[in-house]
Structure 1
């Protein structure tokens, strides 16, 4: 077991943006604005409503081509939600839920350089397993209540700390905002996954919100008043 780093030498977490289910033109405008700020380091394509529609897989592929091209423009890595085959087709990474396929098989198909994430909820044993199988990061949460997954139970802080003590990058997800992220200061987190706090905003407000995220992350090692 590794010791947690002290706040003074913590690496600054990276912002990990997930798409929502906006109509594609609106989504693309929001993503262009967000990615142009340079704050986003990882982008997940997660389009549940599109996938559930008629010819959803074909529609998702056509959308993903455009989204990946936009991300490439800003040199932002992309992961596909749940779908190893689509990730391989797009030369992207993948994020896998516990029932969405094997991390080991994904690594074999996608190669050593692609980002592969695994949902681990609040289970440290799943974090350890994800590490042993070769995942790039383990996602833990929900941290707070979330509009995306309202039924998810917030994780106990002790379990999050235990996850952070494992030798794998940790991604936190669930209800995270610029205002509440300070409550996680002092933990060696690699990725902070955000959906609603950015994607629920109108296009004209996204750049400012991303700038606020940049400020919050830049102050990660500052002493917390909480």
Structure 2
């Protein structure tokens, strides 16, 4: 953990082949990252595991949690630190049965307070709300507002993750609203504004540090 008001939760691009392992190492070395989510699509488990293993080692060497997106089976095969479940990717109970009590389980809850409370009651380790902004890496079907993060963090101790189109330029309201984690992908990997992954990650860290603190008066 660091002194950042919102920890960084880095999500992979869909293509993690080629030189991506080197890019990941550079990004993680550029600033504090709490977790990395391995997110690939349309690959069989054997191919996904081959791509994941070197990335998992890079994360382990830097004490960054390695989270598998969608697949309880792949998370088990890899011995991952956690799994992130969409609403159609299995249940928290199933993940616990197959992965054990020590594996982190996160759940996508879109813009729904109800889904968030359901996930919490089921024993999730964190809930993810979004999308807060349009995303270039995923079709945006649900739009969440920052006050959802404030509501959640005021009432519940369970950590919340903000996701969806988050960049160094727009993250401040989410930090101030109470996001425990900011899930970021495109802003780091897409070389936006000519920045490589290390510079982009460093810019995100600086933006979080500069974000106005959350107002607490009247929230209890």
Give the TM bin, normalised by the shorter chain. 0.7 to 0.9
Cα distance in 2, alignment partners of residues 65 and 29 from structure 1: 13
1:222 to partner: Cα distance: 4.7
After superposition, the C-alpha distances for 1:183-212 in whole angstroms (9 at most, x for unaligned) are 224222111000100011289711111111
Structure 2 unpaired stretches of 5+ = 216-220
Divergent runs of 4+, >6 A: none
- Give the secondary-structure state (helix, strand or coil) at the position aligned to 2:129: strand
After superposition, the C-alpha distances for 1:110-148 in whole angstroms (9 at most, x for unaligned) are 223222110000010111111111111100000001112
Distance 1:147 1:113, change over 3 A: same
What count of residue pairs does the alignment treat as equivalent?
A: 210
Among residues 181, 191, 202, which one is paired with 2:181 in the alignment?
191
Among residues 37, 57, 62, which one is paired with 1:69 in the alignment?
57
Using CA pairs under 8 Å that are at least 6 residues apart, name the structure with larger relative contact order, 1 or 2.
1
Among residues 13, 22, 25, which one is paired with 2:6 in the alignment?
13
- Give the secondary-structure state (helix, strand or coil) at the position aligned to 2:132: coil
Is 2:191 the partner of 1:178?
no
Cα distance in 1, alignment partners of residues 195 and 171 from structure 2: 23
**Range that drifts further, 117-126 or 20-29:** 20-29
**1:1-226 aligned within 5 A:** 12-49=5-42, 51=43, 56-92=44-80, 93-167=82-156, 168-201=158-191, 205-222=196-213
Structure 1 unpaired stretches of 5+ = 1-9
Cα distance in 1, alignment partners of residues 150 and 178 from structure 2: 9
Scaled by the length of structure 2, the TM-score of the pair is: 0.87
1:108 to partner: Cα distance: 2.8
1:23 to partner: Cα distance: 4.9
Cα distance in 1, alignment partners of residues 69 and 106 from structure 2: 9
After superposition, the C-alpha distances for 1:45-87 in whole angstroms (9 at most, x for unaligned) are 00114x2xxxx22110111111111111111101101111211
Scaled by the length of structure 1, the TM-score of the pair is: 0.84
